[in-house]
Amino acid sequence: MSDSGVYKFIRGRLPRPCAIHASAARALAFLLVLTGALSLSAADQPIAYSHKKHIAMGLQCIDCHSMADIGPAATIPSVAKCMLCHATFGTDKPEVKKIAEYAAKGREIPWQRVYGFEKQALVKFNHAPHVRAKVECATCHGDMTQADTAQKLVNHNMGTCLTCHRQKGASQDCATCHY
């Protein structure tokens, strides 16, 4: 797993010393806290993370969901990955302080899952072959570049799986998708 996208971002954005007068920076930060606070109310997650904002900064899906091209699960990034940037960026913001508190306690952020199957459906899904076959994330998850915290934008059922498997000549054996 590679953090290179995140490191490239940090190198590109670290402020040069004395680039901004400190008090001006504090005033700007205060303004951002005020505007930030207004948009937080809709979140039912422990932290008001925004996909839209982070992707607008140039981050790729794989920078955070770093197993999607190599493993069965795409994975949710650990709090340590957030802290690669948030030890430096936005440290005075209430939502970012919460991230630092989880990290300081050595706890992961308890994100609520959005997608997944009932245990009794006995489904096995694997991201990697789909990403390698160039099936876009958006085909199965909708346009996450415009989302704040994730919403279920696409329903996953046997019909949606099989329709595409038929079209693309992928396996339709029961054992491909079921234990």
Specify the residue, 18 or 32, whose C-beta has the smaller distance to ligand HEC: 32
Instruction: Please measure the distance between the N-terminal and C-terminal CA atoms of the chain and give it in whole angstroms.
Output: 27
Specify the residue, 41 or 120, whose C-beta has the smaller distance to ligand HEC: 120
Distance of alpha carbon 4 from alpha carbon 101, whole angstroms: 25
With CB under 6 A as the contact rule, the residue among 66, 85, 102, 103 that binds ligand HEC is 85
With CB under 6 A as the contact rule, the residue among 2, 17, 133, 179 that binds ligand HEC is 133
Which residue in 72, 154, 90, 82 sits closest to 111, CA to CA? 82
For residue 74, state whether it binds ligand HEC (rule: CB under 6 A): yes
For residue 46, state whether it binds ligand HEC (rule: CB under 6 A): no
Q: Which stretch binds ligand HEC (CB under 6 A): 18-26, 100-108, 134-142?
A: 134-142
Long-range contact set of residues 115-124: C-beta below 8 Å, sequence gap at least 24: 115/141, 115/152, 115/156, 117/156, 122/178, 122/179, 123/177, 123/178, 123/179, 124/72, 124/177, 124/178, 124/179
Question: Residue 127: phi, psi to the nearest 5?
Answer: -65, -45
How many residues are there in the chain?
A: 179
Closest CB 93 distance from ligand HEC, rounded Å: 4
For residue 43, state whether it binds ligand HEC (rule: CB under 6 A): no
For residue 103, state whether it binds ligand HEC (rule: CB under 6 A): no
Closest CB 18 distance from ligand HEC, rounded Å: 18
Q: Which stretch binds ligand HEC (CB under 6 A): 15-23, 42-50, 100-108?
A: 42-50
